[in-house]
Amino acid sequence: MDNRLTQTASFSDGVRACVPTIMGYLGIGIAMGIVGKSAHLAIWQIFLMSTMVYAGSAQFILCGLLLLSAPILSIIFTVFLVNLRHLLMSLSVAHYFKDDSLLNGMAIGTLLTDESYGVLMSTLAQERKVTSNWMHGLNITAYLVWILSTVLGALLGNFIPDPTIFGFDFALTAMFLGLFLFQVRLPLKKQRTKTVRILAVTVISLFALMRFASAELSVILATLLGCLTGVLIKDE
Partner 1 sequence: MSNSYYLLILFGCALVTWVPRVLPFILTKAITLPPTFEKFLSYLPMTILTALLLQSLLDYQTGHFPTVRFPEIFACIPALIVGIRTNDLMKIVLTGVLGIALLRLL
Of 47-76, binders to partner 1 (CB under 8 A) are: 48-49, 52-55, 58, 62, 66, 69, 72-73, 75-76
Q: Binding to partner 1 (CB under 8 A): which residues in 82-101?
A: 83-95, 97-98
Task: Confirm if 149 and 31 have CB atoms less than 8 A apart.
Answer: no
- Dihedral sign for Cα 152, 109, 7, 126, please: negative
Q: How far is the CB of 200 from partner 1 (least distance, A)?
A: 10
Q: Binding to partner 1 (CB under 8 A): which residues in 130-169?
A: 164, 166-168
Residues ≥6 apart with Cβ < 8 Å to 46: 32, 33, 36, 37, 150, 151, 153, 154
Task: Identify the residue among 15, 16, 114, 155 touching partner 1 (CB under 8 A).
Answer: 114
Of 1-9, 13-21, 148-156, the segment contacting partner 1 by CB under 8 A is 13-21
Task: Confirm if 153 and 25 have CB atoms less than 8 A apart.
Answer: no
Of 7-15, 147-155, 218-226, the segment contacting partner 1 by CB under 8 A is 218-226
Q: Does 196 bind partner 1 (CB under 8 A)?
A: no
User: Among residues 8 and 92, whose Cβ is nearest to partner 1?
Assistant: 92
Residues ≥6 apart with Cβ < 8 Å to 101: none
User: Among residues 6 and 76, whose Cβ is nearest to partner 1?
Assistant: 76
Task: Confirm if 194 and 71 have CB atoms less than 8 A apart.
Answer: no
